[in-house]
Amino acid sequence: MSGSKVLIIVGSDSDLPLLEGGAKVLEEFGIPYRIRVGSAHRSPEHVKACVREAEAQGAQAIIAVAGMAAALPGVVASETTLPVIGVPVEGRSLSGMDALFSMAQMPQGIPVATVAIGRTGAVNAAILAVQILALSDAALREKFTAYRAKMTASVLEKDGRLQGSGLEKYLKEKNQ
């Protein structure tokens, strides 16, 4: 999509189900994004082309999602000066630790902002992208501040209810 502010690139279409929550966050903030499939190992030239295209279209952050020997975020980071956020995928073995270390243990000079493994990481990656975009967008910054305030209010509301009802009733109502 022309004008996408965030590129999300996944190492395989098997990573796509993970993206739901993160994509929802970007939509909530009205941020145009594009999702591409491109493997650092299986289609390196295509990955480079995706990065070039995203830069040309004005992307300001890239979210790279990959599992196993997850070279994708590092390779993307080496191809661009845009900030790259890496989401480790919980693969079929090693519980995603392989991907986590591949992203977090980048050599000095080419960082990948690595978030949590799996769906939570995908949501946090999207939130981080919003924060990056908000640096140069006052209206977005305001929206993000309201989002945070809503989160805080929700915790306070839960605590208030717990104080009022006690543990047993609270859990019963929560599980209904």
Cβ 55 vs Cβ 65: under 8 Å: no
Q: How far is the CB of 69 from ligand RP5 (least distance, A)?
A: 7
The residue (of 22 and 91) whose beta carbon lies closer to ligand RP5 is 91
Q: Which stretches of the chain bind ligand RP5, using CB under 6 A?
A: 11-12, 14-15, 39, 66-68, 89, 91
Q: How far is the CB of 135 from ligand RP5 (least distance, A)?
A: 29
Cβ 162 vs Cβ 170: under 8 Å: yes
Cβ 49 vs Cβ 96: under 8 Å: no
Give the CB-nearest residue to ligand RP5.
Answer: 11
The residue (of 93 and 154) whose beta carbon lies closer to ligand RP5 is 93
Where do runs of H (alpha helix) occur along 44-176? 44-56, 72-79, 97-104, 119-134, 138-165, 167-175
The residue (of 39 and 78) whose beta carbon lies closer to ligand RP5 is 39
